[in-house]
Amino acid sequence: MSAIIEIKDLTKEFKVLNRREGLKGSIKDLFSRNYKTVRAVDNISMTIQQGEIVGYLGPNGAGKSTTIKMMTGVLEPTSGEIRTNGIVPYANRARNAQEIGVVFGQRSQLWWALPLVESFKILKDIYQIPDEKYNSMLELYGSLVDLEPLLHKPVRQMSLGQRTLSDILAAFLHDPKIVFLDEPTIGLDVSMKSKIRKLIQALNKEKNTTVILTTHDMGDVDALCRRIVIIDKGKMLYDNDIEHLKSFFGSYRTLKIRPDGELSAQAELIGKELPNFSVTADDEWIAILVDEDKSKVIDVLGQLQKSHKIKDMQLEEISTEEVIKKIYEEGVS
């Protein structure tokens, strides 16, 4: 394994006009040079190895797109270093583009009016793909997805799922070293999502392509990523294995009970009984987030049964989604 992307102390700042409110403010803004500096990406460092699938996560506006744009050579960093394939992307946009593939969720990059196979042929020329490589790639595609119905259909007439599939195939066509996937499964149904995940996984395995995946769908993360990187407000919060993350929070389980009586009043009571744990109530359940390092769920349940009449209970393992939500909210301590 060798490093394919190296990022060191990367920062990107934008200058934004301080906008005032109302019509009067807008007119004043016309003549104002009152800018503030916003740090979209703040001192990020990471190294990504050839063949990794990295989940790049963060809430909306965290700076994910900005980082991707810098890695693809569209944006110039304010400070810090990026190297992809050993070159500086912004200074060598075209050369860098030869070695990467990009899929932006709902924006197709294919020629709208053309059947997919014609788009492929144009891409073959643009990336100067030799015949034998092109043909073997199509063969591989044929073995992974039902290619025939896609090939002769104009992109314009495709369903969102078919279009996403086609866009992913097009991004891998020139056998790039890195593929950036920005929310590839957004808006798709469950079966299409799983199809696309399988395709990405197969292509990564077959071609040892590095995949940088940004998504809000934890299903994508669970299915594809060994490693995840989380950023928020431009700052790196987490960069490690997904297993590590789960074990980090893994000792938490959520116990849900439904006792007799009014729920919110009961919840308050239980909260007093269990001062160490967070207790919340909704319309149906009282949820107790139990840290199993402190006491076992079964003991908590036993204790509660002494003082309350419990009609029903549920136990929930913590999901990646919740872990990440927790990180967004509280950070890794």
The residues that touch another protein, with contacts defined as CB under 8 A, are: 14, 60-61, 65, 69, 72-75, 93-95, 97-98, 100, 102, 104-105, 107, 109, 111, 113-114, 118, 121-122, 125-128, 154, 182-183
Q: Which is nearer to another protein, 155 or 323 (CB)?
A: 155
What's the min distance (Å) between Cβ of 111 and another protein? Answer: 7
How far does CA 332 lie from the centroid of its chain?
A: 18
Q: Which is nearer to another protein, 68 or 300 (CB)?
A: 68
Q: Which residues fall within 8 angstroms of residue 306, CB to CB, at 6 or more apart?
A: none
Place of tokens 């119905």: 149
What's the min distance (Å) between Cβ of 305 and another protein? Answer: 50
Q: Which is nearer to another protein, 102 or 221 (CB)?
A: 102
CB 232, CB 274: distance < 8 Å: no
Q: Which is nearer to another protein, 135 or 157 (CB)?
A: 157
Residue 174 phi/psi, 5-degree rounding, is: -90, 20
Sign of the torsion angle spanned by Cα atoms 226, 231, 232, 238: positive
Q: Which residues fall within 8 angstroms of residue 257, CB to CB, at 6 or more apart?
A: 285, 286, 288, 301, 304, 308, 310, 312, 313, 314
Q: Which is nearer to another protein, 57 or 290 (CB)?
A: 57
What's the min distance (Å) between Cβ of 246 and another protein? Answer: 28
DSSP of 24-84: HHHHHHHH---EEEEEEEEEEEEEEETT-EEEEE-STTSSHHHHHHHHTTSS--SEEEEEE
Q: Which is nearer to another protein, 180 or 277 (CB)?
A: 180
What's the min distance (Å) between Cβ of 292 and another protein? Answer: 39
What's the min distance (Å) between Cβ of 114 and another protein? Answer: 5
What's the min distance (Å) between Cβ of 72 and another protein? Answer: 6
Compute CA distances 50 → 47, 66, 119, whole Å.
10, 22, 28
Q: Which is nearer to another protein, 51 or 154 (CB)?
A: 154
Residue 101 phi/psi, 5-degree rounding, is: -130, 145
DSSP of 221-252: HHHH-SEEEEEETTEEEEEEEHHHHHHHHTTE
Q: Which is nearer to another protein, 129 or 288 (CB)?
A: 129
How far does CA 96 lie from the centroid of its chain?
A: 23
Place of tokens 């006491």: 295
Closest by CA position to 249, among listed 138, 324, 140: 324
What's the min distance (Å) between Cβ of 90 and another protein? Answer: 9
What's the min distance (Å) between Cβ of 314 and another protein? Answer: 37
